[in-house]
A and B are shown apart, each in its own frame.
Chain A
């Protein structure tokens, strides 16, 4: 199975500043059949299910603010929050969704 490694484990960012989270997969999640990266990013707040932010590594889910962006290809990916807001305090996870599903360990973002 593909192992997903996220860094850092936690991150303290001032309001309005940029937050950057990295995710590395043990093998490429870019599939030649459709030239898509099977990589998603989620936000999870306490007591809630994860909220899909980004899929196909860089496609923003409907309703997600444009301060969230995803980049990368193959084995190295990044989630960027361009200007951190108070409501962005949460744990963020990367996930590869080529069968089966595997997840990064999470990054806790604080103010």
Chain B
């Protein structure tokens, strides 16, 4: 069974950086792309980017380009998403998604002064 366990909720000040982890198990880590998706309060989903754990290839959504960094550590089967220069509009739940279909439980990031 595919399992994704994300790190816990974070509270950050404007301008700070947050790094969220996504530990996966139950399948071969390098077999599927890992995506990150944002859901702001009361809103829909927005794709942020992906990493191919097999070769480290990255693609970012234009909206987040320059502020987001996605990585994958094949030694620990863990993916990471780092978002910098945080602003209040970044307050959201962030999800890792394996192969486009298997979702983590989500990590709430609150940006507040």
Contacts and interface: CB of A to CB of B under 8 A. Distances in A.
Given A49-B95, A103-B44, A105-B44, A97 B103 contact: no
B45 A49 contact: no
Interface residues of A, number: 18
B61 interface: yes
A40 interface: yes
Residue from A50, A52, A104 with most neighbouring chain B CB atoms (10 Å): A50
A101 B106 contact: no
Contact of A49 (B50, B59, B103): B103
B65 to A, nearest CB: 13
B100 interface: yes
Contacts of A93: 44-45
Residue from A38, A93, A95 with most neighbouring chain B CB atoms (10 Å): A95
Interface string B89-108: 00000010101111111100
A73 B55 CA distance: 32
B44 A97 contact: no
B37 A101 contact: yes
Contacts of A100: 35, 47, 49-50, 59, 61
A68 interface: no
Contacts of B105: 49
B100 to A, nearest CB: 3
A93 B43 CA distance: 11
A102 B25 CA distance: 25
Interface of B: 33, 35, 37, 44-47, 49-50, 59, 61, 95, 97, 99-106
Given A49-B103, A49-B104, 19 more contacts: A40-B100, A40-B101, A49-B106, A50-B45, A52-B101, A55-B101, A93-B44, A93-B45, A95-B100, A97-B99, A97-B100, A100-B35, A100-B47, A100-B59, A101-B37, A103-B46, A103-B47, A104-B44, A105-B44
Interface of A: 38, 40, 49-50, 52, 55, 93, 95, 97-106
